[in-house]
Amino acid sequence: MFYTQVAFYCLRGVHRSVLVRYLKGAHNSRKALIYTKHEHKIARTVFDTQALDIIRRLRSAGYEAYIVGGAIRDVMLGRKPKDIDIVTSAHPQEVRKLFFKSRIIGNRFKLVHVYSGASYYEVATFRAESENSNEFGTLAEDVMRRDFTMNALYYNPFSEELIDFIHGFDDIRKKVIKPIIPLEVIFSEDPVRMLRAVKYAAVFNLHIPMPIKKMIIQQASLLTSISASRLSEEFLKIIKSGSSYQCFSAFESYHLLEYFVPSFHEILNNSQFSDAFTNDLKALDSYIQNSQDKTLDILFRYLLKTVIEISLSRSGLASTREVHLHVYPVVREFLKPLTLPRLGIENAISYYSGKPERAITKKQLLKAKRPVMRRTPS
């Protein structure tokens, strides 16, 4: 593999550099636009110094390394970057040797978590453009393994260049969501991508083209094949985003919510409780937008307020232990198929019952009846 760099002029007369990568065994070369800091307007100071230090060390050791994905997208759309993902030409074992506080994770495609204090940064090796996701590849191949064009921009914080193989820069400016993977397989290959596409559109006010909309609605039921742990991971990201109301409303309009969190679909279509639950979501978003404390105990207080209060009002129980044994299974049932932290749910119940309680044991739960919160006819 070798590189050459040439220049050309866009139709508007703006100068660009084009990086052409010739891949060994490839039938065609793949070109990438390189945007300078004067064009992309991204300041490297918006990224954590720890992330920059990781990239600096990788590059000093002779490897390629970039910030990629959501962090770049968020900055370009005027948001503060959250999770910073790093990609590199270094293989996991090579990354591990460079960072003492790190560990290799993953069974099929291995990643490295590089730790800095209580947090960590995910460092991934370029993936090959093949069906075998275990293979490592090049930067030009890695881009074709991304989901949407806006998540496939690679930023070098030291040269301050932004590498764009698939016109993701223009798609972000046009505020449109476009898939990289063929539409026929992008969602069947990973149904969680449907949630992400709709979430991006709701949070950033982006446009989803009609063919993608139709495909999402047609394949919404594929979400039932996703593990509870992956759905829970996406769910927690949503309630921490400050845009949960927009997201869940959008999921409902795309027929995703009934397969994602069925009880949310039911309560939003229940005339007796929908307004109260909508207010809970809006209150949660307002709290997230105005507070630094995003512990799950507090988030669950906002999210589950209506459900817990309904359960408490129907329990008719005076004993603290009986209250918890009655309400906890109801809330768990409401959140199915998600598997969320038990302690956070219990603390939310304690907050509304006004009676702090020790953690409920599995033995006590097995003895307790599991009442189902039924919808009251409107």
147 an active-site residue?
yes
190 an active-site residue?
no
What tokens appear for 96 in the block? 């591990």
Task: Please tell me what DSSP assigns to residue 175.
Answer: T
User: Can you spell out the DSSP letters for 200-267?
Assistant: HHHHHT-B--HHHHHHHHHTGGGGGGS-HHHHHHHHHHHHTTT-HHHHHHHHHHTT-HHHH-HHHHHH
Alpha-carbon distance of 113 to 103, in angstroms, equals 5
Of 205, 208, 206, the residue nearest 194 (C-alpha): 208
| DSSP reduced 3-state for 120 | strand
Question: Residue 18 carries which side chain, given as an amino acid letter?
Answer: V
The position carrying tokens 């930067």 is 139
- Phi, psi of 70, deg, nearest 5: -60, -35
Say if residues 131 and 139 touch (Cβ distance below 8 Å).
no
| Active-site residue, selected from the candidate residues 74, 147, 171, 280 | 147
| Active-site residue, selected from the candidate residues 48, 53, 74, 85 | 85
The position carrying tokens 């809006």 is 282
170 an active-site residue?
no
What tokens appear for 75 in the block? 């900055």
User: Can you spell out the DSSP letters for 22-84?
Assistant: E-TT-SS-EEEEEE-HHHH---GGGS-HHHHHHHHHHHHTT--EEEETHHHHHHHTT----S-
Peptide bond into 179 cis (omega under 30): no
Point out the residues that are catalytic: 83, 85, 147
